[in-house]
Structure 1
Amino acid sequence: MDSIDLEVLKASEQWMASGIRCELVTVVKTWGSSPRPEGAMLVISEAGQLVGSVSGGCIEDDLVDKMRRGGCSRIKPELVTYGVSAEEAHRFGLPCGGTIQLLIEPLHVGSQISSLLQKLENKELVARELNLQTGAVSLLQAKIHDKLSLERDLLRTIHGPRWRLLIIGAGQMSQFLANIAQGLDYQVTVCDPREEYLDAWHLDGVTFSKEMPDDTVIQMKLDAHSAVVALSHDPKLDDLALMEALKSPAFYVGAIGSRANNSKRRVRLKEFDLTDAQIARLHGPIGFYIGSKTPAEIAISILAEMTAVKNRVPISKEMQVAHAKEQLGSANSDTCSI
C-alpha cells in the first residue's frame, strides 16, 4: 500500500510517460482551519483526471472545472489562494475563516519526478526545491526535522518516510500492520529470527531482519520518530526488544497481549533493571478499544493509538483497552481482541 503522496508522484510519472500533460498541486500554506495539511498534493491531467487531495473535494471540483475549460496552459508555477472571503470559504467547503494557498506546477521532463521516485524507492529522505520563476527543480538530501518552506521564489517540499516502525514477530497480524503503516508513510522493519516465519513473509517495501530483536533495536538507533510494536507472543523475543526500546527515545512502544499478560510482562521488565518511568511508557494492552478481534481490525486499532501519540492527542480512559474491558465487565481476560 503506497502513501497518498507516493500515489500522486507515480501517477504524475505515468501520465508524463504517456504524453499526457498534467499539473502538480501542493498545499503550501493554510490559515485557520483547513481540511488538508501543508505539503498535501494532488496531480491533475489535462482531461481533468486527478489523484490525491488538497481539500474536502470542492477545491478539487474547481480545479477540474478550470482544467477542462482552459486546458493545461500554465508555463510556470503559479500560487493560487482559496477562501479569502466568507463566500469563497462557503463555496469551497472551507471552515469559517479557513484559507488555503496552493502552488500549481506544470510538470515536464525537468520536474525530476522519476528521479524523486527512485530516491524514495531507496528509502531516502529528499528535499525537492522548485524555482517558481523558472520551474527548475533540484533534489537534495533532507533531514528528518525539515519541513515545507516557501521563501521568495523557492518552494522546498520534503518527501520520503520520516517515521520508522519496528514490528517484532512476522505473523499474519504483522502483515496487516506493516501494509497499513506503509500507507501512513512509515518505513517498516519486521524482525523475527524464527525460520518458519521467513518463508511465509511476502510484503514489498518492508525490510525483514532475522537478527535477535534486541540487537535489531540497538542497530536501528531509535529516535523520537520511531515506534516499536511487539507482536510475536513469545516473551523471549518481545521482552528483549521492549527492554531496549523502552530505554530509547522512541515515541511509541507497545506490546500485544491481555491485561493479565501485560501485568506479568511489566513484572518481568523490572528484572531487566528498567525504571518505573521507563516501564510506564509501555502501551499494553496495545491499541484503542474498538471491539476488534480480527488481525486487520487489531492492526487498525494499534495504528490509531500510534497516530494519536504521534500527534500528541490526549487519550481518554474510555479508549484504553484495559479500562474499557473493566467497564464492560469482560469475562475473557485472555483474549487479544482490542
Structure 2
Amino acid sequence: MKVRIKYVVEDTDRHGNVRVYLRKDGRKIRLHGLLGSPDFWREYQAALKAPPKKKGEPKTVPGTIQKGTMRWLVAQYTASGMFKQLGAKTQKDRRATLERFCNNVPKGKTVPDGELPFDQLQPKHLRMRRDALVATPEAANTMLKALKQVFKFAVLYEHLAANPAAGVEPLKSKGDGYHSWTLEEIEKFEKVHPVGTTARLALALALYTGQRRSDLVQFGKQHVRGGWLTFTQFKGRENRPVRLELPIIPELQRILDASPTGDLAFLATAYGKPFTAAGFGNRMREWCDKAGLSDCSTHGLRKAAASRLAELGCTEFEIMAITGHQTSKEVTRYTKAASQKLRAESALAKLTGTKS
C-alpha cells in the first residue's frame, strides 16, 4: 500500500524521471534523497519550516535549480568570468558536455547526476562516471576536462576546499585520432582535383600552412604582406591569441595565382561567399569522398604537414612555429614517429650494406 505524506507531491519530467516536492503555503520545494530515507526526512522537516510565500514572489516551478546541487554549481560556473573568457565555440561545447553530465541517470539509480550534492562527489564517483564512457574515451576525457574546470572554479570561489576531479586520470584514446594523409593519398586527391579548382586550393592551403580549418577559411589577400601570411589563429583568439607569420612558398603561390578566390577569403563557396568552418569541413568531406579518400579529413592534413616537417628533420620548436602549438606534447608525437622511420631506414640500410 502506498503511504501518503502530508504536503508531498510527485512530478514526472520530460525524461520520465520522478521528482518529489513539498507543496505548502504557495511554495513548491524539491526534496532529494530516497523517499522515507533519513536524508529525505531531514529535507522534509526543513521544508516544513520554510516561511510562507510572500505576495508577488515568483513561483517555484519544476526544474528550478536547487542550491548545493551539481547543476547549481554548473550554473554558477557558466555565469562566471572564468567561463565567459572562453571562446564562443568552447563555451557552446562545454555547456553541452555539462548538460549531458547533469541529465545522466547512472545505471541502477533514479536521481540524475545534476541533482546530487556537489560537495559529496568524490574522485571514485567521477572515475565511475568516466568508466561508464569507456567505449568512447574521447567523450569521457572531454567530460572529465569540463568537470575539472567546474571544480577548479568551486575551489577558487570557496564552494569547495579541494578539487575532487584533479587526480582523476583520463582514459587512453583509441589510436592516434585523425588519420594523417599519406603521400599517396595526397597525390590521389590532386589527380581528381587539378590546379584551378577550389578543392586543390584547399588542399594546398592546409598542407603548406599546417593550420586548422577555422584559420583556412579566414585567409585572404588582406593577410598577405610581402610574401608572408600574417594572421592570428582563430582558436584561443579571445583569451590566448597566437599570432603567426608564415612564408608563402612558391608552390602555394602558384596554386593561389591559378585559383578562383573570393574578395575577402581565398576559399569561397559557389556564390562567392566565405565558408564557415563547419561548411568547409562538409565540403572537404565531399571532395575527399569524390577522390575515394573516406578516411581523410582537413585535420588529417594538419597532421600530415607536421609529420612531413618532422621527417625533414625539423625540431619540435620549428614545427610549433608553423602549427602554432603552444606546448610540445602534440608535436612530440610527430617527431617521434618521424625519428622511428628515419632510424628504421638507416638500420636497414646498414643491414644491406647501402647508404640511406
Larger radius of gyration: 2
TM over 0.5: no
1 or 2, which has the higher helix percentage?
Answer: 2
More strand by share: 1
TM value normalised by structure 1: 0.27
